[in-house]
Structure 1
Amino acid sequence: MNRTGMTLEETDRKLVALLRHDARRTTTSLARALNLSRTAVQARIARLERDGIIQGYSAMIAPDVVAGVQALVTLCLAVRPCRRITDPLLSWPEVERIYAIAGDRDAVLVVSVASPQALSDLADRLRAVEGIASVETTVILSARAGCPEKP
């Protein structure tokens, strides 16, 4: 089961994998790949969106075009619930995503900044936030999509 309490069947998993790889793929192309009718694929996509499985579509922008440095910033938080600290960070322009994680850290931020100095400044700003116990930065050197061509 996923976070919505639903279990995806195999065809839905394949459809989601295809959309992850290329969300702009036409319904006709998806239907061919899944051996379904175009109408059946449209209905599946509508259901997956309605049920919150597909939460939106976005453009993946080359990080070196928009920002000079992309990094993962892990946080240990001294305040619970963690969202009291992490939710306001979503409004910071450098913060692209925030993940709650298990283990000895509480959250991972994906950030984009103009330079290594800007990353250092961001880390200092984070350390100044009351409730953040520690900050660790890891620069992203390269990224690869994890979705296969064909599910």
Structure 2
Amino acid sequence: MKILKITFSILVVFLFSSCLSGIKKGADISRNHIDYIKSLGILPGDERIVLFVSQGRMKVSGNFFTDKRIAAYWIDGKHKENSFIKFAFYKEIDSIVPHLIKEANHSSYLEVYKNNGQKFKVYVDASSEETQYFFEKAIAEWKKNK
């Protein structure tokens, strides 16, 4: 009976940890998904994704930064007018403002302000620790490459 309880506990922990959306390192993204992002025109062959996070399926939503840019996309197959692909090269960015949201129904985001007055949001749907890590790494990458 004790072995059954231990096995059940391990299984529950494994299932909960595997359900977390989380942030992925670029090296952990499948070739299929990399090819899809390239097909959107926001990942040329000479760039590498540093961190990536999705709000659901990768073919619908993606928020990431590379060694050269920060980007976000939303592809709505039913309502194409809601789709967008936004990005900025680090040299085009005036500022990045983090917004850490603690409400369960809303995602935290980075607000990216471009030199030309345009702005867009890069959403991070992850734990507070992962979100903070994404924010810090993205801002550090921008500062290093601007």
Instruction: Say yes or no: TM over 0.5.
Output: no
Compute the TM-score of the two structures, normalised by the length of structure 1: 0.29
Compute the TM-score of the two structures, normalised by the length of structure 2: 0.30
